Amino acid sequence: MTRARYADPQPAIPDRLRERLETRLAQRGLDLKRPLPETPEPIPALQAAQARIPVDYRAALPEHPDVTAWVRAISANAAAPNVEGVNPHYGTAGRRQVTHGPSLLLWGATGTGKTHQAYGAIRALTAAGCGVAWHATTAADLYAALRPRPGVDPEVLLRRLMRIPVLLLDDFGAAKPSEWTEEITFRLVNWRCQNRLPTLFSSNMPPLRTDQVPARQAVLRDKVGDRVLSRLSGMCTAIEFTGPDRRYQRR
C-alpha cells in the first residue's frame, strides 16, 4: 500500500484563508496589522444640538465652576422614561431624561461670556448621556414670535416654551416693556418656577440696585417687576460675569 507523502505539513484551512485574505488586501494597499486610529465615539445628541447652536458657540464649554456644577446637578436629576407615570415600571430601561432642577441667572456687561457659558452648558448636557429637549431664544425674538398674527396660535408656542425641559432665554430684560410683555414674562417664569424646570437666563443688567450700580444703569427689577424678580430669586443661582468685551478682543 502506497501512502502519500508531503514535504511539509499543510497549514490548517483557516490559516490558508487568512493568508489569501491578507494577500488580497495587501494588493489593495490595506494592512490588517496596522493599528486603528483612536477615533472618539460620536455622541448623537451632541451632533444634533450642534446643528441648532449658533456657529460662534459650537465649541463652547462650561468653564465657570457654578455653571459646571449646574450641569452636574441637572444630569444627576435625570430620570428614566415614565418613572413618574402611572406605571413607573414600564419603560424604565430607556435613556434618562432631564426632568427638574435649579436654574441660573447669568448677568454682567456685554461680551463677558454669558451666552457662551449658557450654550456650553447645553452642549455639556447633551454629551452627558441623558436626553435633553431644549430651546434657545432671545427675549426680543420670544416676544416677536408670540405677537398675534393670522394663521398662528401664540398660545400653543407659549405653552410649549413653558413646558420644555431646558430653556435658554438670552438678553432677558432687554426688550421694551409693556403690559403685554410683562404678562408673557410672568406666565413663562411663573410656570417654570413652580415646576422647577431648568432655565438659563442671561442679562446685561444686575438683578437689584445697589450702591455699586450707577444711577443711570437699569436693573432687572425695573424691567420685569417684583413678581418676576421674586420668582427668579427663588429658582436661580445668580452668577456675575466681569471683564472686558470678548468680541472686541477677537478683532
Give the predicted TM-score (pTM) of the model: 0.77
Which pLDDT value is given to residue 237?
95
Please give the Cα distance from 96 to 108 (Å, whole number): 34
Boundaries of every domain in the chain: 44-80+96-249
Strands (DSSP E) contained in the chain are 103-108, 134-138, 166-170, 199-203, 236-241
Question: In this structure, how many other beta carbons lie within 10 angstroms of the beta carbon of residue 28?
Answer: 6
pLDDT one-digit tens code per residue, 14-67: 777 777 877 877 777 766 666 655 555 556 666 777 888 899 999 999 999 999
Task: Name which residue leads in pLDDT, 177 or 202.
Answer: 202
Higher pLDDT, 11 or 199: 199
Average pLDDT over residues 8-14: 61
**Residue 168: closest CA among 240, 96, 105, 247:** 105
Higher pLDDT, 42 or 151: 151
Gap between the Cα atoms of 207 and 224, Å rounded? 10
What distance in Å separates the CA atoms of residue 44 and residue 41, rounded to the nearest whole number? 9
Q: Which CATH class is domain 44-80+96-249?
A: alpha beta
Quote the DSSP letter at residue 11.
P
* pLDDT at residue 203 is higher than 80: yes
State the pLDDT at residue 156: 93
171 Cβ neighbours under 8 A, 6+ residues apart: 138, 139, 140, 202, 203, 204
Alpha-carbon distance values, 145 to 57, 58, 154, 161 (Å): 23, 24, 7, 11
Q: Please state, for a pLDDT cut of 90, what percent of the chain lies above it.
A: 46
Show the cell assigned to 114.
454669558
DSSP 236: E
